[in-house]
Amino acid sequence: MSVRVRVPTPLRKFTNGADEVNAQGPNVRALVDDLETKYPGIKERICDETGKVRRFVNVYVNGDDIRFLQNLETSLKEGDNISIVPAIAGG
Amino acid sequence: MAHPTAARWVTAERLREPKIIHSVLDLIGDTPLIEIRKIAEGISPGVKIFAKLEGFNPGGSVKDRPALKMIQEGIKSGKLAPGKIIIDSTSGNTGIALAMIGRVLGYPVELVMPSNVSAERKRIIDAYGAKVTYSDPLEGSDGAIRLCREILHKEPEKYFKPDQYFNPMNPQSHYETTGPEIYRQTNGQITHFIAGIGTSGTIMGTGRYLKEKNPKIRVIAVEPDDALHGLEGLKHMATSIVPGIYQESELDEKFPAATDAAYAMVYRLSQEEGILVGQSSGAAMHATLQIARKLRSGVLVTVFPDFGDKYLTTNLWVGWRDRMAVGNLQFSI
């Protein structure tokens, strides 16, 4: 099972510049772990030391914020679109 | 009759005589400077900290100053004339300022913003009647800059673009207003000026003025400590489109602010000082306090770019009581 993950500009240094990558996992937690395996270092940018998604990072599954779903336990299915969206900078 | 002193004139003008304001634009600038006392407890008694409350501008942020100056200059140069539309990319506050000023002067306004700007900002801009084009949230404010360039490229004759990231009138507005106000409000005693970098207009223009008055004044810029951050309004220069107005050589120092420390300071400001501000003010206050701790004497001035009412629906406030309760707040002292 594979889902598409859209990567924001500040995290593309981990994905060799790719703005979209494929990853696997039955839920968002497993997906983040899979991303970490493929792109080491990316997880600690998305999650804090306790494993929760950082406050200023929003993760969307098909356009819905996982904070209003089941957070990291939000389940995923083939073809889902995931977006990782940081806060806004500058002016 | 003796001519009143400047101080008396200001007092009379402000507090005693009813004054008719002819335009909301006349209310831009002359914002108050407030001493930060409780949060500053524990620092050397010879050190004073002040914050300039830019939320008192009629558009609610420091951006009223550069927006007005850039539009005035556009009209003066003939680049902005009736029939033209004002367009720019913004992360929100400049958009609000342009939308307000456009209404007063009779120019339509179009803005390009990342679609994830706070709901409050979207509604305020809508309430001024400006048209908004949203850019990809994953591309951040740089995505808005690029999309705005594309729109402009297609029909250049239709628009006037203030171009806040590249227009020298942006820092000039602070050179002419923010700098002199701070110098006057501190009776020339200011030793350190500390401000966040978004377009860098505030730090560049204010810093330039203050250095001219006294080259010993240290000018310190606050920026996010990482490319991925939660400090809405501030820019991590190393990983961003660098604004044309930004001259790093004019800074004495840069202070990297962590998002968590800045958020904690936002909570402290509301709880201890009764000042409700946004993320960028939290970062500015955090940096100022850290710098103050190392000093024996000095007058430190920072800028709170806006108040916090525009961020109440953002993640800044989600679960903040829980975070305080479990001791996750890392106070700076």
Average pLDDT over all residues of chain B: 91
Element (H, E) at B85: strand B85-89
Residues in chain A closer than 8 A to B164 (CB atoms): 91
Please tell me which residue in B63, B161, B235, B310 is annotated as part of the active site: B63
Cα distance from A71 to chain B (closest Cα, Å)?
A: 14
Tokens of B206: 């204010």
pLDDT score, position B322:
74
- Kindly compute the dihedral angle of the four CA atoms of residues B135, B141, B145, B146, in this order, to the nearest 10 degrees: -60
Domains annotated for chain B, with CATH where assigned, are 6-57+169-318 (3.40.50.1100), 64-160 (3.40.50.1100)
How large a percentage of chain B has pLDDT more than 90? 76
- Are B207 and B193 in contact by the 8 Å Cβ rule? The answer is yes
The one catalytic residue among B91, B135, B173, B280: B280
Helical H segments across chain B, by residue range: 6-11, 64-77, 93-105, 119-127, 140-154, 169-173, 179-185, 201-213, 259-268, 279-293, 320-325
The share of chain B scoring above pLDDT 70, in percent, equals 91
Give me the count of residues in chain A. 91
Show Cβ contacts of residue B36 under 8 Å, excluding neighbours closer than 6 positions: B49, B50, B51, B273, B285, B288
Q: Are A15 and A7 in contact (CB under 8 A)?
A: yes
* Mean pLDDT within A10-16: 93
- Please report the pLDDT score of residue B18 as a whole number: 60
Cβ within 8 Å, pair B230-A91? no
The reply to whether B280 belongs to the active site is: yes
List CB contacts of A48: < 8 A, sequence separation 6 or more: A54
Q: What is the band of B332 on the pLDDT scale with cuts at 50, 70, 90?
A: very low
Instruction: At B18, list the tokens.
Output: 């009813």
* Angle between the N-to-C axes of helices B93-105 and B119-127, in degrees from 0 to 180, rounded to the nearest 10: 10
Residues in B touching A15 (Cβ below 8 Å): none
Chain A interface test: which of B138, B234, B280, B313 (most A C-beta within 10 Å):
B138
Q: Which residues of A touch B (CB under 8 A)?
A: 6-11, 13, 19, 45, 54-58, 67, 83-91
pLDDT at B186: 98
Cα–Cα distance measured from residue B117 to residue B127, given in angstroms and rounded to the nearest whole number: 15
> What integer is the mean pLDDT of B106-128?
92
Give one DSSP letter per residue of A27-46, joined into a string: BHHHHHHHHHHHSTTSHHHH
pLDDT of residue B1: 40
In Å, how far is B94's CA from the nearest CA of chain A?
Answer: 6
CB contact under 8 A, B116 and A58: yes
- Report residue A90's pLDDT band, with 50, 70 and 90 as the boundaries: low
HEC secondary structure over B295-320: CCEEEEEEEECEEHHHHCCCHHHCCH
Question: What DSSP string describes B213-262?
Answer: H-TTSEEEEEEESSSS---TT---GGGSPPPTT--GGG-SEEEEE-HHHH
Average pLDDT of chain A, as a whole number:
91
**Catalytic-residue membership of B211:** no
| B8: confidence class by pLDDT, cuts 50, 70, 90 | very low
- C-beta atoms of B232 and A88 within 8 A: yes
> Are residues B318 and A55, on separate chains, in Cβ contact within 8 Å?
yes
Domain A3-86 falls in which CATH fold? Ubiquitin-like (UB roll) (3.10.20)
pLDDT at B95 (0 to 100): 94
For the ranges B29-33, B203-207, B228-232, which has the lowest average pLDDT? B228-232
Q: What pLDDT sits at residue B240? A: 83
Whether B298 contacts chain A with CB within 8 A: no
Q: Assess whether pLDDT exceeds 50 at residue B5.
A: no
- Per CB-CB distance under 8 Å, the chain A contacts of B239 are 9-10
> Rounded to whole angstroms, what are the CA distances from B94 to B61, B116, B124, B132?
8, 16, 12, 13
SS3 B285: helix
pLDDT given at position B333 = 41
Structure tokens at B147: 């999309």
**Per-residue model confidence (pLDDT) at position B2:** 43
Q: Which two tokens stand for residue A71?
A: 């957070």
Position A47: which residue type?
C
pLDDT for residue B232:
83
Mean pLDDT throughout B160-175? 97
Amino acid at B7: A
Query: Which is higher by pLDDT, B333 or A13?
Result: A13
**Is a pLDDT exceeding 80 seen at residue A37?**
yes
Contact B93/A at CB under 8 A: yes
Shortest Cα distance from B112 to chain A (angstroms)?
Answer: 12
pTM (2 d.p.): 0.89
- What single letter denotes the amino acid at residue B47? V
Question: For the residues B13-19, what does the mean pLDDT come to?
Answer: 56
**CA proximity to B242, closest of A17, A86, A90:** A90
Contacts with B316 from chain A: Cβ below 8 Å: 55
B210 alpha-carbon distance from chain centroid: 17
Q: What pLDDT was estimated at residue B7?
A: 46
Mean per-residue pLDDT, B66-92: 95
Contact predicate B323/B298, CB 8 Å = no
Are residues B199 and A6, on separate chains, in Cβ contact within 8 Å?
no
Interchain CB distance below 8 Å, B138 and A7: yes
For chains A and B, CB pairs below 8 A equal: 113
Q: State the CB neighbour count (10 A cutoff) for residue B213.
A: 14
Mean of the pLDDT values across residues B288-292? 98
pLDDT of residue B38: 95
Side chain identity at B164, as an amino acid letter? Q
What is Dmax (Cα atoms) for chain A?
Answer: 41
- How high is the pLDDT of residue B161? 97
Interface ipTM > 0.95: no
pLDDT over threshold 50, residue B132: yes
DSSP state of B83: T
- pLDDT score of B124: 94
Contacting residues of B for A47, CB less than 8 Å apart: none
Instruction: Please give the distance of CA B179 from its chain centroid, rounded to a whole number.
Output: 13
Q: What is the pLDDT of residue B193?
A: 98
User: Does any CB of chain A come closer than 8 Å to the CB of residue B192?
Assistant: no
pLDDT given for residue B10 in this prediction: 47
Find chain B residues with C-beta within 8 A of A20's C-beta. Answer: none
Alpha-helix runs per DSSP H in chain A = 28-38, 43-46
What is the nearest CA distance from B233 to chain A, expressed in angstroms? 4
What are the domain boundaries of chain A? 3-86
Both tokens of residue B195?
A: 């401000």
Subunit contact A55:B198, Cβ cutoff 8 A: no
Say what the alpha-carbon torsion angle B151, B94, B259, B141 is, to the nearest 10 degrees.
Answer: 10
Residue B310 above 60 pLDDT? yes
Distance of CA A9 to the CA centre of its chain: 13
Q: How close, in Å, is residue B256 to chain A by CA atoms?
A: 15
pLDDT for B91: 79
SS3 B148: helix
pLDDT in tens, A40-83: 999 999 998 899 898 889 899 998 989 889 999 999 999 999 99
* B179 at A interface, C-beta within 8 A: no
Residue of B94, B138, B240 with shortest CB distance to A89: B240
Residue B255 pLDDT greater than 90, yes or no: yes
Q: Report the distance separating Cα B328 and Cα A68, nearest Å.
A: 23
